[in-house]
Amino acid sequence: MTQKSSSPVAPVVSRCRWAETNPLLQTYHDEEWGVPVHESRMLWEMLMLEGFQAGLSWLTVLRRREGFRQAFAGFDPEKVARFDETDVERLMADPGIIRARAKIQATIGNARAYLAMQAQGEEFSAFCWGMVPDAPVRNTTGQVLAQSPASQALSKALKQRGFKFVGPVIVYAWMQAVGMVMDHDPACFRYDACG
């Protein structure tokens, strides 16, 4: 009599609900979302992507993330700051990104604002994390927030430095993504790992 080998059953993983609808979202949730990011260029890249996400789903951005990286010179602020109107037109014709003129122009302007901060001795990571001294802040309200007093303050400070597409809702989503705010659901397997 031949014995049948039973294949092991994969354990059920509990995630934040928003990440259960698509494998790309699951991977992003499991490996990136809420993990503290302290490298200035990567923080800037994530903030720019959050700006492109405004009015759309994060999945739309994730599907085009590599296209964005190619189109925006690896999100190197020094290179992006040199983009001109010819580059704007090139980007408006690029099917690998979200083609929104205002968001493209804001990204170029935001690269210049980022460099202006550096020129004044203000390192982007230290500035951003310094605005949230108790990070990661745990959302203990039991509600999914769209913004917070910290995102409002950080949004205002970024706008004062010339940044665009950095309203408090965009900034709050960015703060969640880069680990300044820990917003994993208490039932999520990443809840304790990210905060």
> 0.85 exceeded by the pTM?
yes
Q: What domains, with CATH codes, occur in the chain?
A: 18-182 (1.10.340.30)
Among 58, 114, 172, 174, the active-site one is 58
114: annotated active-site residue: no
pLDDT digits (tens, 9 = 90+) for 79-103: 999 999 999 999 999 999 999 999 9
Q: Which secondary structure element, helix H or strand E, spans residue 138, and what is its range? A: strand 137-138
174: annotated active-site residue: no
Among 33, 45, 50, 174, the active-site one is 50
Alpha helices in 32-121 (DSSP H): 40-53, 58-71, 77-80, 85-92, 101-119
pLDDT digits (tens, 9 = 90+) for 161-187: 999 999 999 999 999 999 999 988 888
50: annotated active-site residue: yes
Cα distance between residue 126 and residue 82, in whole Å:
24
Nearest Cα to Cα of residue 155 among 141, 146, 165, 142 = 165
pLDDT digits (tens, 9 = 90+) for 123-160: 999 999 999 988 888 877 767 789 999 999 999 999 99
Asked if pLDDT for residue 116 goes beyond 90, the answer is yes
Nearest Cα to Cα of residue 146 among 176, 178, 169 = 169
Asked if pLDDT for residue 22 goes beyond 90, the answer is yes
Q: Do 168 and 147 touch, CB atoms closer than 8 A? A: yes
Cα distance between residue 85 and residue 49, in whole Å:
20
Asked if pLDDT for residue 28 goes beyond 50, the answer is yes
Cα distance between residue 88 and residue 1, in whole Å:
71
Q: In degrees rounded to 5, what are phi and psi of residue 137?
A: -85, 125
